[in-house]
A and B are shown apart, each in its own frame.
Chain A
Amino acid sequence: MTTSPISEFFSDFGELCRYMGRFFLRVWRRPFEFRELIRQMDEVGSKSFLLTSVTGLAIGIVLAMQSRGTLVRFGAEAVLPSMLALSVVKEIGPVITSLVLAGRLGAGMAAEIGSMRVTEQIDALEVAALKPFHFLIITRTLACMLMFPILTLWTDAVALFGGYIESYLASGMDYRIFVSTAFETLRISDVIVDTGKTSIFGFIVGMVSCYLGFNVRGGTREVGQAAMRAVVGASLLILLTDVVIVRLSIMIFGDVGT
C-alpha cells in the first residue's frame, strides 16, 4: 500500500508533535546529560560563530546600501541608523540567523543521528539503557534553544556594525550619532521578544532535525533525504512560526511607535 505525500506529511507532523510532547515531559527527568549539552552548545555556538558573523556583516552593509538611496530621495537619510536597528533587531537578524543556522545545524544533526540509526549506534544506546532520547534529542534541542538567542544578538551587533561602516564610508557619519539614533526608537521589549523568539526557532530546528534523523530507516540515501527534509521543514516552520509570534507580540506589546 502506498501513502500519498499529503497523508505522509500529516503523519510526520503528528509524530513530530508527539516528539515535542515527549521533549517537554522528559526534559525535567534524569539523566541530565550536562556534559553532552555543553558539547552540543559548543557545536551549535562556537562552530557557527564565523558563519553568523559573516551573515551579520553582509546584512548590515547591504541593508544600509539598499536603503540609503530611498531615504535620501525623501530627505530622511538621518533616520537610516534607526531604521537599520529596527529592521535588524526586530526581524532580519532573528529570522536570517535562524534560517542560516537551520541550514547548517539541521542538515548536520539529521545526518549525524540518521547515520547513528543506520549503523545501529542508537540501538546500542538503547540496549545499554542509555536513553537515546535524552542523550541525543534533548541535549541537541536544548543547545539550539540556548545558543540561537546568543548567536542572534551577536549577528545583530555585527549587522549594526556593518551598517555603521557603510554609513561612515558613504557619508562620514560619526559613530556616536549612529549609535544614539539607532537605539532611540528601539524598546527593550523589542530586543527581548524578538531575540527570545529565536529560542523557539532553535527548538524547531532541534526537534525537526532530531526527529527526522532518529526515524531514518534504510541506508545512506535515506540519511541524505532526512538531512534535506530537516533543512526544508525547519526553515518553513521558522517562517510560519515567525508570522504567529510577530502577530502575538504586536497584540501584546503594541507596534513600534505606539
Chain B
Amino acid sequence: MSTEPIIRLKGVEKSFGPLNVLKGIDYEVGEGVSSVIMGGSGSGKSVLIKHVVGLLKPDAGEVWVSGKRVDTLDGDELDMIRLSIGYLFQSGALFDSMSVFENMEFFLERHSEMTRPEREDRIMEYLTWVGLPEKRHHRPAELSGGQRKRIALARALVLGPDIMLYDEPTTGLDPVSVRSVSELIVRLREELGVTSVAITHDLLCAEIIADDVHFLYEGAILTSGSLEQVRGTDHPALKEFFGSTDSDP
C-alpha cells in the first residue's frame, strides 16, 4: 500500500453568499486508505467531497486527485478524472426512468467498448457482488432504501473506479442494512484496493470502515486520527456529537 496521497486538498475555502462553509481545509488520503469524515449537519462534509469530484470549485485553495489539479480542470480533462472516481450519493441518485440494469448499462455503454453480452456479464457480476442479482429488472421506486444504496454502489463500481466517495452511505437505513452496506465498503477496499472517502455521522459505519477519521466542525477539521483518538479528544463539539450518536437507537 503506497502512502503517497491520492487525494489532497490544500487550504480549500468555499462560501455560499455570506455563508463560509469551508475555511481553509487541508486534507489528504493515501492510496488504498479508507478515510471517514464525520461532523454534525451543516459542517461542510458534503461540500468538501463535492470538491474532490469537481462538482464544486473552491474560492481559494487547491484540490489534487491522482496527481492532477482538479479545481482548474474543465470539460474532457475533468471527465477523465471523474471516470476514475465512483460517487455514492446520499439518496442513491438512481435514474427513475430506467431499470436497475439500464442504470448500470447506461454507464458502460458510454464509457466502455464492451459488447452487449460483456456488459451483461459485468452488470450481473456487480449485482451479485452487492447481493441483488434478482433485482435487475426492477425500477428504483420498487426497491427499499437499503437496496437502492446497494444498487447505487454497484452502479458506481461498474466502471472500476480507483477512488470511491460515499456521501452518507448509511443514512436512513436500519442497523442490519447499515452493517451490510458498511461491510460491502470494507470488502471493496480489501478485494479491489479501492481508496475510500466516506462522509457519515453513523458511528457503527465509521467503526466498520474507517482507517482514519477526520472531524469537521464549522468548516474546519477539528481533529484527525483513529476513531478512538477522535472520540477521546477533549472538545465540547466532539463530546456533544458522540454523546448524541452513542444514544442513537
A218 CB to nearest B CB, Å? 13
Q: Is the CB of A129 within 8 A of B90?
A: no
Decide yes or no whether A184 CB sits under 8 A from chain B. Answer: no
Q: Is the CB of B55 within 8 A of A119?
A: no
Q: Which chain A positions have C-beta within 8 A of B107?
A: 128, 130
Decide yes or no whether B217 CB sits under 8 A from chain A. Answer: no
Decide yes or no whether B91 CB sits under 8 A from chain A. Answer: yes
Expressed in whole angstroms, the Cα–Cα distance for A127 and B111 within the complex equals 13
Decide yes or no whether A124 CB sits under 8 A from chain B. Answer: yes
Q: Is the CB of B82 within 8 A of A123?
A: no
Residue ID in chain B nearest A130 by CB atoms: B110
User: Among A119, A121, A124, A128, which residue has the most Cβ atoms of chain B within 10 A?
Assistant: A128
Decide yes or no whether A8 CB sits under 8 A from chain B. Answer: no
Q: Which chain B positions have C-beta within 8 A of A121?
A: 93-96
Residue ID in chain B nearest A123 by CB atoms: B55
A109-133 CB contact bits vs B (8 Å, 1 = yes)?
0000001100111011011111000
B82 CB to nearest A CB, Å? 5
Expressed in whole angstroms, the Cα–Cα distance for A126 and B95 within the complex equals 13
Partner of A120, one of B93, B110, B111, B159: B93
Decide yes or no whether B53 CB sits under 8 A from chain A. Answer: yes
Q: Is the CB of A128 within 8 A of B95?
A: no
B98 CB to nearest A CB, Å? 10
A32 CB to nearest B CB, Å? 12
Q: Is the CB of B93 within 8 A of A123?
A: yes
Q: Is the CB of B82 within 8 A of A120?
A: no
Q: Is the CB of A127 within 8 A of B96?
A: no
Q: Is the CB of A119 within 8 A of B82?
A: no
B77-93 CB contact bits vs A (8 Å, 1 = yes)?
01110110101011101
Would you give 16 A-B contacts (Cβ < 8 Å), ordered by A? A31-B110, A116-B96, A119-B91, A119-B93, A119-B96, A120-B90, A120-B93, A121-B93, A124-B89, A124-B93, A124-B95, A127-B82, A128-B110, A129-B78, A129-B111, A130-B107
